[in-house]
Amino acid sequence: MKRRQRERTLLLTGWGRTAPTAARVVRPRTAEQVAEALAAAGPRGAIARGLGRSYGDAAQAAGGLVLDCTGLTGPIRLDTERGEVTAPAGTSTGRLIDHLLERGWFVPVTPGTRHVTLGGAIAADVHGKNHHADSSLGAHLRSLTVAVPAGGVRRVGPDGDGADLFWATVGGMGLTGVVTEATLSVLPVETAHMKVDTDRTASLERSLELMSADSGHPYSVCWVDLLAKGAAMGRGVLTRAHHARVADLPPPLRRAPLRHRAAALPAAPPEMPFGLLNRWSVGAFNTAYFSAAPRRRRSEVRPAASFFHPLDAVRNWNRLYGPRGLVQYQFVLPLGAEDTLAAVMEGLSRAGAPSFLAVLKRMGESVPAPLSFPRPGWTLAVDLPAGLPGLGPLLRGFDEMLLAAGGRLYLAKDSRTDAATVRAMYPELPAWQRVRERVDPDGVLVSDLARRLELVRP
Ligand SMILES: Cc1cc2nc3c(=O)[nH]c(=O)nc-3n(C[C@H](O)[C@H](O)[C@H](O)COP(=O)(O)OP(=O)(O)OC[C@H]3O[C@@H](n4cnc5c(N)ncnc54)[C@H](O)[C@@H]3O)c2cc1C
């Protein structure tokens, strides 16, 4: 007789630590256990959870069942002939990178933290610093194994039978099935280092100009000082990079070019009193950070870990925002909507919004996944204290500006917008809902995000 999976009741939040809700949590270890858990979900439904790095309420389900998918681990299978890797969905990006790098390969796309699972990355169709060149994770997936409530575990790919389930699952925020395994293409690399070019930019205009020019760098990202005012508004530090070749390394590093160590520094203090992060402290940090960056530096060799995941150096840095947590506002605007981008940045600057994490990226081609966020254009991601007075109306005003300019918000970061806004921003939502209703006719898969944004039938 099969043993019932052990359940615990836990209070869960996303990385922003806002809107906690309680759910029963199980930790399946196999695709069969996932299917069993879905079959026994109960009236409040079920949702998958990875490492909880989405900012809002995507991986929680009030009163329902949460499937902690970090138990879906096991061997990582690298096929060097085909240039692809197959891994269980609970594998973290960090573990995948560690496994691949020492063998001379790299993931095709990594988000800004290594602490996400493969399943969570697929469900958000994550993008990296290379989106302008290489698109999002979905473009590199060769197949997925998905447990769906309508029954069974299905293997689907980007073409042919099951392609609609594949694309509905890429960016589908866990609402079409639970991914248990995935195969993706990988990138050959000679070293575990990056060759980085840095430029300090004096204004938003200059940042956009440099990022628009085709410099040939596959990776590019601009940190922006949102507290700078006037002509300096949007000044930033632009870093662009390639994977370093052995010949790029200084001689001591050439002996073990693939040696790699993930950054790991102390945790942030358990809780910071709200108020320490304010426009003055953040303004001082921003000025110091901007001034310390080189005006122009070329071909600096840096470890891949510090280039891709600098934030991982401080564990639990989200606690710096105090007990009320943080909101990340991330949107994409099409090319040609630079005035709206500038207007949002000016609005944040005028409001004195204390954000030391504001990141601007150029986005490239999108994938044919109805709920995938990236679109060609510009994306800005800004972390803001959730307790900031006037934050709600400020962001609602920005939502309107995005809508008018053809922009959209990123569901994996959202914790505060409304259903009508998302419906208008994601015109392919009805097509996605039709696929979902086929694979989940009883509406088993549901999250707090799905309820709040009416992504699924009530
Ligand atoms: C510091 C930081 C930097 C980030 N940088 C980026 C970035 O550069 N680019 C970017 O795109 N995103 C970025 N993100 C967001 C992050 O990549 C996504 O939110 C990702 O989904 C988190 O994965 P997770 O494993 O933590 O999933 P969770 O947050 O636990 O869940 C996210 C979603 O995935 C679903 N899910 C989880 N596992 C599965 C599964 N096995 N099958 C089906 N659905 C599943 C959940 O239901 C939920 O809807 C960043 C987040 C942080 C905290």
Query: What digits encode the pLDDT tens for the residues 89-113?
Result: 999 999 999 999 999 999 999 999 9
Confidence of residue 276 (pLDDT cuts 50, 70, 90): low
Of the listed ranges 24-33, 202-211, 394-403, the least confidently predicted one is: 202-211
pLDDT at 114: 96
Indicate left, alpha or beta for 216 from its phi (over 0: left) and psi (-120 to 50: alpha).
Answer: left
Which are the contacts of 225, defined by CB distance < 8 A and separation ≥ 6? Answer: 232, 234, 235, 236, 286, 287, 289, 290, 358
Which distant-in-sequence residues (6+ apart) come within 8 Å of 126 by Cβ?
109, 110, 111, 116, 136, 137, 412
Element (H, E) at 17: none
Tell me: pLDDT of 29 over 90.
yes
> How remote is the CA of residue 171 from the centroid of ligand 1, in Å?
10
Is the pLDDT reported for residue 389 higher than 70?
A: yes
Query: Residue 137 CA: which ligand 1 atom is closest?
Result: 11
Distance 53 CA to ligand 1 centre (A): 5
Q: Which atom of ligand 1 is nearest to the CA of 47?
A: 47
Selection from 138, 168, 170, 137 nearest residue 150 by Cα: 168
According to the model, what pLDDT value does residue 256 have? 96
- Beta pairing class for 358-363 and 219-224: antiparallel
Nearest 5 degrees, angle CA 303-CA 362-CA 241? 25
Average pLDDT over residues 421-440: 98
Q: Which residue from 54, 125, 316 has its CB within 8 A of the most atoms of ligand 1, so it is best to mutate?
A: 54
436, pLDDT greater than 60: yes
Q: Does pLDDT of 428 surpass 70? A: yes
The whole-angstrom separation of Cα 384 and Cα 352 is 11
Tell me, in angstroms, the distance from the centre of ligand 1 to residue 249's CA: 33
Nearest residue CA, atom 51 of ligand 1?
A: 53
Q: Which residue has the higher pLDDT, 265 or 20?
A: 20
Distance (angstroms) between ligand 1 centre and the Cα of 117 equals: 7
Which ligand 1 atom sits nearest the alpha carbon of residue 179? 42
Q: Which residues' Cβ are closer than 6 Å to ligand 1?
A: 15, 47-54, 58-59, 69, 89, 111-113, 116-117, 119-121, 123-124, 126-128, 173-174, 178-179, 311, 412, 447
Distance 330 CA to ligand 1 centre (A): 14
Half-sphere exposure of 166 (CA within 13 A, CB side): 23
Mean pLDDT for the stretch of residues 386-406: 96
Query: Phi-psi bin for 215: left (phi > 0), alpha (psi -120 to 50), beta?
Result: alpha
Domains in the chain (CATH in brackets) are: 72-189 (3.30.465.10), 193-416 (3.30.70.2520)
Q: If you search the block for the tokens 């809902």, which residue do you land on?
A: 433
Phi and psi of 153, rounded to 5°? Answer: -115, 120
Q: Higher confidence at residue 342 or residue 3?
A: 342
In this structure, the strands spanning 65-68 and 46-49 are parallel
Task: Give nearest CA residue, ligand 1 atom 34.
Answer: 120
Rounded CA-CA distance 41/448 in Å is: 15
Going from the Cα of 213 to the center of ligand 1, the distance in angstroms, rounded, reads 30
**263: β partners:** none
